[in-house]
Structure 1
Amino acid sequence: MSEAKLSKVEYVKIASNRLRGPVDAELHNGTDHFSEEGYQILKFHGIYQQDDRDVRKARKAQGLGPDYSFMIRVAIPGGVLTPEQYLALDRLADELGNATLRITTRQAIQYHGVRKGGLKPLMQVLNRNLLTTLSACGDVVRNIVACPAPFADRQRSELMRYAKELSDRLKPRTRAYYEIWLDGERAASLEESEPLYGDTYLPRKFKIGFAFPGDNCVDVYTQDIGIVPVVGERGLEGFTLLVGGGLGQSHGAKDTHPVLAKPLTTVGPEQFFEVVEAIVKVQRDHGRRDDRKFSRMKYLVEAWGIERFKAEVERYVGYALPEARPLEWLSGDDHLGWHEQGDGKLFFGLFVENGRVKENLRAAIREVVQRFAPEVRLTAQQNILFVGVDPSDQAAIEAIFRNHGVALPGTLPLAVQNAMACPALPTCGLAITESERVMPEVIREFDALLGRLELHDGPIPHVRMTGCPNGCARPYSAEVGLVGRSLGSYTIYLGGSPLGTRLGQVYLDNVKREEIVNRLEPLLAAYKHERLEGEAFGDYCDRVGVGTLRERFGDLASV
């Protein structure tokens, strides 16, 4: 591709000397923020530069610049943490963050409110605890997600092992991270060349997720590469690969849209890593670098078609790829509550509203981890699992949460437990309107509506909200998706599958936050009387047709 067709960010990457500059020079230059070029490279190190948008106007009126702080994302493959690692993360929230931890929809941990001077100390503590932020953001393969359910069988443990090994193989090899943040500390296996990424890395971010057969808790179809093992008595006998998923879009940018991944092939374990790396290389070499709105691999797969894309992957690996095996899904739930692991131990899934670990919840989790030392696993639905619990400790663990005022699964409305929201305002620079701060009120209004309509006796709809169209909380694959449209207004999407296998469609645009539940009321009332036995709300909307529902109820505020 000629230089004339490169976007500005591509030039920044080229000039960075493999992710060094200008971060290395600007880290200690006495300012409270980085330049735009520095910010673009910071992302590869797992850092987003932000400012407090709640005070932006007031500060400007006073002649002050933005109140800068940083979001730090810790990459945790499969969401697996030792108790010691979790406690180290918890301590850092007080020492350098804003006293909260944020569980992301990619099983990572985010810190918010970190000041520039706290970046390097935070990175060094993470490194001492065998944790890193490298490639948690940026135009690389980001944190690899995997179904975290710790059932004690060979196939589950192999899945997590493959996820960790793939994560290690796809990390950038540059020494920049170690030089800038760790005073030159580096692992002996790292080399200066970037055999996978080259000097300009990937055209855009790249997401990979492992589901377990039948269990789509990670939304596998929303990934650039979705991976579903073929399970046999001898362990994992192969992998079905899906390609081209992604949910981001841009208001005002024609032809940007969410897409679900398509089946590509089913390969054996001996081919797995080579084929996955080939898919990444195809995107590296052919993904668009002129317009970042169209740089995700989903647009390459769409432009070429799945057959041409497959042929190109075959050219990279040097052999033909077989057809993909069909997949079947049974659940998309998040493993909340108590479960037997199969080895005499239990695991416990705890709901974390919108992934924000703070105040009494944070204290309760800390006490449980300190006293009982369970392995901690983060989920792709922003919740947390405590693994390897002795059955004799079950009552004591529940007592800790109750003593701290933390609601246990089963005591919360299912609508609340099924909901997700992104952080949005005041920290996210892309947010158009609120998400995390208003979702608790919106979802409880929604649950009250279900109660008035006596709809708690069937499947409870999944509701997800984002403050902009980028889709970080995966609203487009939800039964009810609420996407920030303008300040205080949202686009309502309906008809996604509770199994994560179908996208929703636009029902109403530019709906005020206060009117969201009213706008859904006539739909839910019709659903109550017209649903088939056991039919989920998203499946009902898809069967009847979102366009038909809009014609019937789009002009009604309430029944």
Structure 2
Amino acid sequence: MVDRRCDLTQDVNTLHANEQLKANSRHLRGTIAEGLENPLTGAVPGDDPLLMKFHGIYQQDDRDLRTDRTRRKLEPNYQFMVRLRIPGGTLSKKQWQGIDRLSRRFAERGIRITTRQTIQLHGVRKPNLRALMQGIRDLGLDTIAACGDDSRGVVCGSNPSLSNVHHQVATLARETSNRLIPKTGAYPQIWYREDHPPKDDEDPQYGPLYLPRKFKVGYVIPPVNDIDVYGQDLGLIAIIEDGRLSGFNICVGGGMGQLDTREDSYPRLAEVLGFIEADQAPAFAEIVMGIQRDFGDRKDRHRARFKYTLDRLGNDWFLEELASRRGQPLAAARPFQLTQNGDPLGWHQGDDGLWHATLYIENGRVDGALRDQLEGFFQQYGGQVRLTTNQNLQLTHVEDHEREQIQWRLDDLGLSPRLAPDQQAAHTLSCVALPTCGLAMAEAERYMPDFLDLFNRLKAQYGLTQIPMTLRVTGCPNGCARPYLAEIALTGRAPGLYNLYLGGSFQGDRQARLYAGNVSENRFIDLMAPLFEAFSQRRHPQEHFGDFLVRDHLLEAAPVTVMPR
């Protein structure tokens, strides 16, 4: 086999600027510590904001205020987003309460549950960063590798009716996360002020260049595809046989991001290639990540994700390289079925007799009255907490005799409607977008309440109110809310304009296709109305909207759109 790995012994100056920055960063230290002490700016100067991503921190500013502050000759209204690393999204009651207290003290925009099953704290000012990071440490949590060119937080799906299997899979997800995170001493040195001088080999798994781009790993428990397993760089699909976890089908090469300005940039679904035994999963993930580390493109950053490595070198090459590193080939994939990619909301009892209750959280935003309601609830709640990849909050490990009392408490605090929300809302996602995301070109989260109301009114016109459709809106094409796996998706192009994607599946196993570009709200109504009318008249019993569009060949008649590049 021809070895086509990136030659990391070559002159680093021939690689992308980000690779050069990492190589000279002293294992992610840079001059971050010095920048934190600079009182003359609310920012961390120079290139250090890029390194801070590896520490789980994004430097941002309030874009609503940019023009006014520029006119007044003031620097941008700098602030930071801090993303926690929470493998599988599991928290204790005390950890949730601790995060709530930290958010009230240090974050100006509350708590946000993300589509990666973790928590982001927005609006943190530079003088508060160290205190916040140390507060997170005191809760037994951290933020390392929640961003950056590394293995991001490992997500884990939920099937509440299979509690014993879920426990096994969640344990493997945590083991995988711990195995894949960077081991650099920069993190405790900068944030905890511990003594960790740089060493040449302090992060042997990653080396001085870390990964070419981010690497996402996810575990899913069929038939619920809540993590959108086909959007992961490495997806592990639990195979349940006779009620027991037999192992995992593995799928590789998923990725939701793209650039509208490049023809060679595209979203991609992961492909199922084989099966592994359950106890092999953490080590297997490390091997696959190592292949991407060694063969990913380090010159063209926009072609550096694992999906492009596989498309460039091919599945046959990958399987041969994988077998060489493992010492054995993959076994044949086993049958499985997926039924939905939303969360099963409400109460569900597991095979261990314990109950789970999933609460709908609109856009994952916990702030204002909702934050106060949850604060009151957790004062008397004794179970555990789990965040979902659909931005919801799950109460877990509830004993049979506790369920009635918890339900009363939810009723008293006005939280019980979140157990059974509007069906369409429960299958709708958006990203943060404006005003803080630097990549956003259009609104998403702030626009969603009005857009969802418009969408529901349009559905009602054609008698479709009771039929859920996966709907996702993002402020740019990068795909944080997994739009390309939705039945209907809008990705931001400019203020008030979006690309419209249609035809993904309700199960999350088919990619949507571009239907129209530069779509305004009025144009969206004009485009969707005839499709909803056709669906209401010609759909088969129990048929979902995306499946109908494909079966009825309606996507083949997509409007001709000239998209400026």
Q: What TM-score, normalized by structure 2, do the two folds share?
A: 0.93
SS of residue matched to 2:302: helix
Match runs of 1:493-512 below 5 Å: 493-512=501-520
Aligned length, in residue pairs: 550
Contact 1:173 1:191 in 2 (8 A): no
Q: Give 1:94's match in structure 2, choosing from 100, 104, 111.
A: 104
- Give the residue type in structure 2 aligned to 1:531: R
Instruction: Assess if the C-alpha contact under 8 Å between 2:427 and 2:470 holds in 1.
Output: yes
Whether 1:226 aligns to 2:226 is no
In structure 2, the residue matched to 1:360 is: 369
**CA–CA separation in structure 1 for the residues paired with 2:465 and 2:211:** 46
Which residue pairs with 1:181 in the alignment?
A: 191
Residue of structure 2 aligned with 1:533, choices 541, 544, 550: 541
Classify the secondary structure of the residue corresponding to 1:388: strand
Structure-2 residue corresponding to 1:386? 395
Question: Displacement of 1:484 after TM fit?
Answer: 0.3
- Equivalent position SS for 1:331: coil
Paired residue secondary structure (2:123): strand
Does the aligned pair in 2 maintain the 1:203–1:289 contact within 8 Å? yes
Cα distance, 1:81 vs structure 2: 0.2
Q: Is contact 2:159–2:221 with CA below 8 Å preserved after alignment?
A: no
Please name the residue that 1:109 is paired with. Answer: 119
For residues 344-366 of structure 1, give each alpha carbon's deviation from its aligned partner in whole angstroms, at most 9, with x where no partner exists. Answer: 43211000011101111111222
Q: Are residues 1:416 and 2:425 paired?
A: yes
Aligned partner of 1:301 among 310, 318, 325: 310
Query: What's the secondary structure of 2:175's corresponding residue?
Result: helix
Give 1:395 shift.
Answer: 5.0
CA distance in 2, matches of 1:238, 1:198: 31
User: Gaps spanning 5+ residues in structure 2: where?
Assistant: 1-6
| Distance (Å, rounded) in 1 between the aligned partners of 2:481 and 2:526 | 23
Residues 345 and 360, structure 2, Cα contact 8 Å, conserved in 1: yes
Query: Aligned in 2, Cα 1:269/1:454: closer, same or farther, shift over 3 Å?
Result: closer
Residues 1:346 and 2:369 are matched in the alignment: no
- Paired AA for residue 79 in structure 2: S
Aligned twin of 1:64: 74
Q: Which amino acid aligns with 2:541?
A: E
Which whole-Å CA distance do the structure 1 matches of 2:264 and 2:416 have between them? Answer: 43
RMSD between aligned residues: 2.1
The residue type equivalent to 1:471 in the other structure is G
Matched, 1:142 2:142: no
Could you tell me how far apart the structure 2 residues matched to 1:149 and 1:523 are?
Answer: 33
Task: Tell me the amino acid that sits aligned with residue 33 of structure 1.
Answer: A
Deviation at 1:275, TM superposition (A): 2.5
Match of 2:15 among 6, 20, 31: 6
Q: Could you list the runs of 5+ residues in structure 1 that have no partner in the other structure?
A: 555-559
Match of 1:52 among 45, 48, 62: 62
Cα distance change, pair 548–152 in 1 and its aligned pair in 2 (3 A): closer
Deviates more, 1:356-365 or 1:199-208: 356-365
1:271-286 paired onto structure 2 within 5 Å: 271-286=280-295
CA contact (8 A) 2:110 2:366 kept: yes
Aligned to 1:479: 487
Residue 320 (structure 2) aligned to one of 297, 300, 311: 311
| Counterpart residue type for residue 389 of structure 1 | V
CA distance in 2, matches of 1:456, 1:487: 29
Distance 1:419 1:196 in 2: 38
- Give the secondary structure class of the aligned counterpart of 1:179: helix
Give 1:341 shift. 2.6
Within 2, Cα distance between the matches of 1:14 and 1:410?
49
Change (3 A) 1:422 1:270: closer
SS in 1 for 2:379: helix
Give 1:231 deviation, angstroms: 2.6
The answer on whether the counterparts of 1:245 and 1:259 sit within 8 Å (CA) in structure 2 is yes
1:80 & 1:185 partners in 2: Cα distance? 30
Mark the CA change 1:224 to 1:546 in structure 2 (over 3 Å): closer, same or farther: farther
**Who is 1:557 aligned against?**
none
State the SS of the aligned residue for 1:107. coil
Change (3 A) 1:34 1:550: same
**Quick one: which of 429, 434, 440 aligns to 2:443?**
434
Q: What is the CA-CA distance between 1:239 and the residue it aligns to?
A: 1.7
Q: Which residue of 1 aligns with 2:553?
A: 545
Contact 2:287–2:325 (CA under 8 A) maintained in structure 1: yes
- Measure the CA separation in 1 of the matches of 2:354 and 2:331: 40
Q: Distance in 2 between matches of 1:13 and 1:429?
A: 21
Moved more, 312-321 or 280-289: 312-321
Match of 1:464 in 2: 472
- Any conservation in 1 of the 2:357–2:419 contact (CA below 8 Å)? no
Secondary structure of 2:380's aligned partner: helix
Q: Secondary structure at the match of 1:39?
A: helix
Q: Secondary structure at the match of 2:339?
A: strand
Deviation at 1:156, TM superposition (A): 1.8
**Contact 2:158/2:224 (<8 A) preserved:** no
The aligned amino acid for 1:464 is: R
| Aligned sequence identity (%) | 38
**Match 1:520 to one of 512, 515, 528:** 528
1:121 and 1:514, CA in 2 relative to 1: closer, same or farther beyond 3 A? farther
Equivalent position amino acid for 1:34 in 2? V
Bigger CA drift: 156-165 or 145-154? 145-154
Distance 1:78 1:410, change over 3 A: closer
Deviation at 1:470, TM superposition (A): 0.2
| Contact preservation (8 Å) 2:176, 2:283 | no
Counterpart residue number, 2:4: none
1:70-108 deviations in Å (ceiling 9; x for gaps): 000001000000000000000111100015100000101
Secondary structure at 2:458's aligned position in 1? Answer: helix
Distance 2:262 2:312 in 1: 17
Q: What secondary structure sits across from 2:74 in the alignment?
A: coil
Taking the aligned partners of 1:130 and 1:411, their CA distance within structure 2 comes to 33
CA gap 1:219/1:157 in 2 versus in 1, 3 angstroms? same
1:255-308: per-residue Cα shift (whole Å, max 9, x none)? 101000011221123543332211111100010011111110000111122111
Query: Which amino acid counterpart does residue 468 of structure 1 have in structure 2?
Result: C
Contact 1:249 1:258 in 2 (8 A): yes
More displaced stretch, 503-512 vs 228-237: 228-237
